[in-house]
Amino acid sequence: MPEANTPATPWGTPDLVQLMDETGTVRAHPTFSSYADELTDTDLKEMYRTMVLTRRFDDEMTALQRQGQLALWVPSRGQEAAQVASARALAPNDHIFPSYRDHGALLERGIEPAEITPLFRGSATLGWDPKKHNVHPYTLVLAAQVLHATGYAMGLNMDAQIEAETGEKQTGQGQATDPNQDAAKPAVVVYFGDGSSTEGDVHESMVFAASYNAPVLFFVQNNGWAISVPFETQSRVPLSTRAAGYGFEGLRVDGNDVLSVYAATRYAMDKLRAGEGPVMIEAQTYRLGPHTTADDPTKYRPQDHEATYTPLDPLPRLEAYLRSRGVEESFFEEVAAETKQGGQTVRDYVLNSKPEDFETYLDRVYAEPHQQVEDDRAFYRAYTAGFEEE
């Protein structure tokens, strides 16, 4: 739906899709309302539950980092709607390539909070089974997962060709579902942020995705900050505007509104499965916390940050909407108790897991002995031995 070109927007900035406003009031949209209407009360309550759990998990992890139990934590605070609602719109056989902040998407996918912790505790590099959930590992190299996702989507097209020629179902590198039972053709979703969108990897991915008509949804959570660089510095136009330059559709949605995020994602996945090429969704949300536990946002964020952006918090908005639909107080109490227990479970799990000896990571780089690994090991040992005794 890029609007007609005008002198003010010569490339056509996509309209902002918002189905539910900040007060929880819902309005109709000609294209997207039908998708949002799929959501039952149960769906909405489950999404709310996952969003609250995500936040409680996030806060517990931040506290654990402050208590010296985690090396680092990457908060998702404020982005729960964008993550949870988009993941809910996927089919079980779709593949998710997350960044390192997409805890809500993972929890929605059925991954346990505890399974997200090992990378940050240093007890393992990956805590969940990627093949069980079709969720790939967190990628710490900024934007690299966008390339991986695009390549995977191109591979799905090749699988489809082999299937067409041989009549045999292709399963790629293994996946969560039985291909014979799949109701829908698989597609790929890649999560990244506005900061990553500035990287060359994202550009290359979009060029290749367009050239090969790859079934990949570029889901960018524009949270307003690339660590300390405000979005206004990064781009003159909304990121969704860029899709037109690659020749595919870009959607711009209110990322704090579960309805529009869900609807836009469902719409995009339909297009991908129909072979109508890649789609980009820009979910406009806001990073309420720091970039990671290692930075201090008060050094670069405006003074009136809370006053301006706290009202955009997706949780109270969905709560108000649920109440307006007649959801009882008992539900909210139940969620509060459940998530509190969830926080305790994560704490126990983290405190009982042991950070791994660093050298074991070196052992796993190659199957056979390798000179570079031994050099790295020697360097590491010399480095750690190089500190003064205290």
Partner 1 sequence: MSQIFNLPDVGEGLTEAEILSWKVAVGDTVAVNDVLVEIETAKSVVELPSPYAGRVEELMAEEGQTVEVESPIIAISAGDASPEQGADPKAAEPTSLNTKDAGAQQAALVGSGPKADPVKRRARKRPDPASSSAPAASFQLHTKPAASRALAKPPVRKAAQDMGINLQDVTPTGEQGQVTKKDLLNYAAHMTLPQSKTPGASPSSFWQATEVSDDRIERIPVKGVRKATAAAMVQSSFSAPHVSIFVDVDASRTMEFVKRLKKSPQFEGIKVTPLLILAKAVIWAAARNPQVNATWTDTEIQIKHFMNLGIAAATPRGLMVPNIKNAHELNLRELAIALNDLTARAREGKTQPAEMSNGTMTITNIGSLGIDTGTPIINPGEAAIIAFGTIKEKPWVVSGEVIPRWVTTLGGSFDHRILDGDLSARFLADVASILEEPALLLDM
Stretch near partner 1 under the rule CB under 8 A, chosen from 130-138, 163-171, 235-243, 284-292: 284-292
Rounded to an integer, what distance in angstroms lies between the CA atom of residue 241 and that of residue 245?
8
Helix (H) or strand (E) holding 292: none
**Site residues (CB under 8 A) for partner 1, limited to 209-248:** none
Amino acid in position 98: P
Closer CB to partner 1, 122 or 130, in the complex = 122
**SS3 at position 160:** helix
Just list the catalytic residues: 287, 291, 300
Rounded to an integer, what distance in angstroms lies between the CA atom of residue 57 and that of residue 116?
10
Regarding 306 and contact with partner 1 (CB under 8 A), the answer is: yes
Stretch near partner 1 under the rule CB under 8 A, chosen from 117-125, 223-231, 297-305, 362-370: 297-305
Regarding 343 and contact with partner 1 (CB under 8 A), the answer is: yes
Burial (CB < 10 A; 0-12, 13-18, 19+), residue 33, is middle
Rounded to an integer, what distance in angstroms lies between the CA atom of residue 295 and that of residue 228?
9
Q: Tally the residues of the chain.
A: 390
Q: What is the DSSP letter of 240?
A: G
Helix (H) or strand (E) holding 263: helix 258-273
Rounded to an integer, what distance in angstroms lies between the CA atom of residue 193 and that of residue 258?
18
Q: Pick from 46, 144, 316, 327 the residue near partner 1 by CB under 8 A.
A: 316
Q: Pick from 124, 320, 327, 362 the residue near partner 1 by CB under 8 A.
A: 320
Closer CB to partner 1, 162 or 294, in the complex = 294
**Partner residues linked to 26 by β-bridges:** 20
- Tokens standing for residue 108: 């929605």
- Tokens standing for residue 171: 């399963």
Regarding 274 and contact with partner 1 (CB under 8 A), the answer is: no
**Site residues (CB under 8 A) for partner 1, limited to 241-270:** none
Rounded to an integer, what distance in angstroms lies between the CA atom of residue 191 and that of residue 86?
10
Closest CA to 174 of 211, 127, 129, 113: 129
Question: Phi and psi for 228 in degrees, rounded to 5?
Answer: -110, 0
Closer CB to partner 1, 85 or 214, in the complex = 85
Regarding 91 and contact with partner 1 (CB under 8 A), the answer is: no
Between β-strands 229-230 and 225-226, what pairing exists: parallel, antiparallel or unpaired?
A: antiparallel
What is the size of the binding site for partner 1 (CB under 8 A)? Answer: 54
Rounded to an integer, what distance in angstroms lies between the CA atom of residue 290 and that of residue 297?
5
Rounded to an integer, what distance in angstroms lies between the CA atom of residue 262 and that of residue 73?
27
Regarding 21 and contact with partner 1 (CB under 8 A), the answer is: no
Min CB(42)–partner 1 separation in Å: 19
Q: Pick from 336, 357, 366, 370 the residue near partner 1 by CB under 8 A.
A: 336
Closer CB to partner 1, 61 or 147, in the complex = 61
Min CB(63)–partner 1 separation in Å: 4
Regarding 165 and contact with partner 1 (CB under 8 A), the answer is: no
Closer CB to partner 1, 168 or 388, in the complex = 388
Stretch near partner 1 under the rule CB under 8 A, chosen from 172-180, 213-221, 305-313, 355-363: 305-313
Closer CB to partner 1, 121 or 347, in the complex = 347
Q: Pick from 31, 125, 233, 310 the residue near partner 1 by CB under 8 A.
A: 310
Closest CA to 327 of 48, 33, 18: 48
Min CB(114)–partner 1 separation in Å: 15
- Tokens standing for residue 389: 């005794």
Closer CB to partner 1, 75 or 250, in the complex = 75
Contact code string over 31-70 relative to partner 1, x by CB under 8 A? ---------------------x--xx-xxx-xx-xxxxx-
Q: What is the DSSP letter of 25?
A: -
Which residues contribute to the site for partner 1 (CB under 8 A)? 52, 55-56, 58-60, 62-63, 65-69, 71-72, 77, 288-290, 293-299, 306-307, 310-311, 313, 315-316, 319-320, 332, 335-336, 339-340, 343-344, 347, 371, 375-376, 378-379, 382-383, 386-388, 390
